[in-house]
Every structure is written in C-alpha cells, then in structure tokens.
C-alpha cells in the first residue's frame, strides 16, 4: 500500500501547478476518487487539498526569495489565477503577504515532498559537517567569546555544539523543555512556573529544576552582550523559542539577540537578528490564552503558533490520524507520526501521551 500512496504523491507533485482533477488522479491509480482521497489522508495524515496548498506555497516562497520575478508572474507560475488569490492563500499560511515576505525574508517553515518510505530515525546527525559555522562565526567577531551565549534547543544539539566547540569558546547551554505541551504561567522560570511545568511533566519540582532550570543557570544569572538562539523550524522549537524571547524581555535584556533557524532535514541555517519587544504579550496570548496574536510575527513563528493552537483543539489532524488507526499499536502509530508530522517536532514521549489521551 505504501508504494501505491507514494505513486499518488509522485503524480500530484508532477501536476502540482495545474488545475487539479481528482478524477484524473483516480483514473491513473485505477480506483474511485473517493477511495484515492480517503486512502491518501489515511496514510499521510493530510488531505490532498492541504498537501497541494502547502507544497505550492512553499515552492512559491522560494521563488519570492531567490528571484526578482513579479509577484503576479510567480502567482501564475504556481497555479493561482490572480495575484489577489495568491496573496490570500500565502498570508493564511505564512502570516504575511508575499510582498512583505519578499522584503523581510524572515525564516519560514519548510514543507518538503512527502516520502512515506523515509527512515524512522528522526534525529540530528553530525551537524559539524552540515552547518555553515564559519560564516556564522564571522558575523560575531565584534564579541569576545565570554560575551556570547548559545542557547540550544535540547540536550542532543547542546552536546554536539559543546563537544565540538562549533561556535568557538563561547558558552553553550540547552533548553530541555517541551513548552508546546502542558500548562504554563506568566512569569517564566518563577517558582510557580517551575511547579506547574513539573506537574505537567509528572515530575517532582526538584527533578524538573535539575533537568530544565539548572542547565540554564548562565542565562538566569550572568550578563551577555550577545545571545544566539539555535532552534528548528517546527512547532516544538518555535514555542520554546517564544518562551526564551519572552523571558529575555521580562528580564530587561539589552544585548543583541540572534535567532539561528536550523532546517533539520537540509541542515541549512538562516540567521536573523531579533529586536526584543512584544514577545511577552505574544507568549501570554498563545500559551496562556490559547489565541493567535494580532501582531505581525516571523513567518516561521506564525506557522509554529498556528500548529500549536490547532494541537490544543480536541479535533485536529493529529487526533484524527490516531482515531483513524484504531487497530494499530501505540508504538506503530507513534513511529508513523514521527515520520508524517515533522512540522510539529513532537517526540515519541509526546506522541505516546497524545495517543493514550485520545484512546481514553
């Protein structure tokens, strides 16, 4: 069955910018339109319509950055009938218009062609061979090593950076959290924050502070002229990034903040300087009130927040996928979701908790 689904994906990709016809696809596959549509969603977790929308817009976004073509021409080339229709669809996914996106060229979330046969081991490899470290280091030559703090999303990335000194002798620390799950409080890293986060993770307060808070001691106690935040494009990383930015604001940090957006499939890195201001309000609106802020955000953060808010609805694409596979074991579903829903960035523990919750 996977070969058949992959054949459908390949056909859709080959006709991505044409007027889509489910009937033509079904004739090619030799099954009814309903069966093709149902099986595609059952095996991929996303509808054909959504898949085509995300892929077309992602490819169009690359053209906006890499070419000087008129936006109208890009819209037509990527299957949209008008610049207005393209702009509406683009803003719905990226949170900004194509014109704003082109001018600012902020990080945005990738959406690659689905390959349902890809390996299950979704972990970081030896990034010292992938990241353009020298170029990033050169941009920080005005700072001494002791002036720079690198905050890495999680222990795995932290160990590689620290062991291989990928950013020289500057300091490194991990943010070992999953802020996209469980409740939070307004004052980040306060006693109340630590307690409610510990409760959500089914941990003691002492255990939580040992794993999450103690590694952050340099961030909490020392002054740095420059803080470099290394986080991925996925929802998991973006909610963690938002939390750190809000904390820096709460502490009145006055130094320079860089966000190094890591694409964990291609290992490309895009560096963006982030002026602080407004992230505390965004944090409260998103993590406490569970609503989309009215302010303009970086496209990658807008996309992460959109996924986060969907995740906290009872009916979302993750719960629908779990419901549609009642006969598969928790472990089978978890492994499939790791492959299919990489935009979320959730790990096996979060998926197993979600599966158990849905099945209860």
Largest CA distance in the chain: 65
> Would you place residue 124 in the very low, low, confident or very high pLDDT band (cuts 50, 70, 90)?
very low
**CA within 13 Å, CB half, 285:** 13
Which pairs count as long-range contacts for 19-22, CB under 8 Å and 24+ apart, including other chains? 19/79, 20/48, 20/52, 22/48
Is the pLDDT score of 120 beyond 70?
no
**Alpha carbon distance 13, 35 (integer Å):** 19
Average pLDDT over residues 296-308: 97
**Alpha carbon distance 113, 103 (integer Å):** 26
Sign of the CA dihedral with 256 first, then 343, 87, and 290 last: negative
Per DSSP, the three-state class of 130 is coil
Mind listing the domains of the chain with CATH numbers? 2-104 (1.10.10.60), 127-309 (3.40.50), 314-359 (no CATH)
Judge if pTM exceeds 0.85: yes
pLDDT tens figures, 191-201? 999 999 999 99
Average pLDDT over the chain reads 92
User: What pLDDT shows up at residue 133?
Assistant: 57
Sign of the CA dihedral with 309 first, then 313, 316, and 320 last: positive
User: What pLDDT shows up at residue 208?
Assistant: 98
- Kindly report the three-state secondary structure assignment for every residue of 184-229: CCCCCCCHHHHHHHHHHCCCCHHHHHHHHHHHHHHHHHCCCCEEEE
pLDDT tens figures, 129-170? 555 555 666 666 677 778 999 999 999 889 988 888 777 888
**Alpha carbon distance 227, 246 (integer Å):** 14
Q: Which residues have CB under 8 Å from 102's CB, separation 6+?
A: 64, 65, 71
């Amino acid at each position: 069955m996977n070969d058949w689904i992959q054949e459908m994906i390949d056909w859709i990709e080959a006709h991505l910018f044409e007027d889509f016809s489910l009937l033509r696809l079904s004739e090619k596959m030799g099954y009814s339109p309903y069966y093709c549509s149902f099986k595609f969603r059952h095996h991929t977790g996303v509808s054909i319509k959504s898949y085509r929308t995300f892929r077309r817009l992602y490819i169009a976004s690359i053209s906006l950055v890499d070419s000087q073509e008129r936006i109208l021409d890009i819209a037509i080339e990527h299957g949209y009938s008008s610049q207005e229709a393209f702009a509406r669809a683009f803003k719905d996914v990226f949170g900004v218009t194509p014109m704003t996106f082109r001018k600012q060229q902020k990080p945005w979330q990738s959406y690659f062609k689905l390959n349902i046969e890809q390996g299950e081991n979704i972990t970081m490899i030896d990034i010292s061979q992938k990241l353009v470290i020298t170029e990033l280091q050169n941009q920080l030559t005005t700072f001494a090593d002791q002036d720079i703090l690198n905050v890495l999303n999680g222990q795995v990335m932290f160990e590689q950076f620290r062991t291989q000194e990928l950013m020289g002798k500057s300091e490194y620390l991990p943010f070992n959290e999953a802020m996209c799950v469980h409740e939070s409080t307004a004052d980040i890293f306060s006693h109340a924050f630590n307690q409610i986060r510990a409760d959500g993770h089914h941990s003691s307060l002492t255990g939580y502070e040992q794993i999450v808070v103690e590694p952050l001691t340099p961030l909490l106690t020392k002054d740095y002229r420059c803080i470099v935040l290394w986080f991925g494009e996925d929802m998991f990383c973006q909610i963690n990034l938002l939390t750190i930015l809000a904390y820096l604001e709460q502490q009145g940090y006055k130094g320079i903040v860089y966000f190094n957006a890591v694409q964990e499939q291609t290992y490309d890195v895009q560096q963006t300087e982030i002026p602080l201001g407004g992230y505390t309000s965004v944090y409260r609106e998103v993590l406490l009130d569970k609503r989309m802020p009215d302010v303009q955000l970086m496209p990658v953060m807008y996309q992460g927040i959109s996924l986060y808010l969907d995740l906290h609805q009872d009916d979302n694409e993750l719960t629908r996928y779990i419901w549609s596979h009642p006969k598969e074991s928790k472990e089978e579903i978890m492994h499939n979701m790791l492959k299919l829903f990489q935009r979320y960035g959730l790990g096996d523990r979060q998926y197993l908790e979600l599966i158990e919750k849905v099945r209860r």
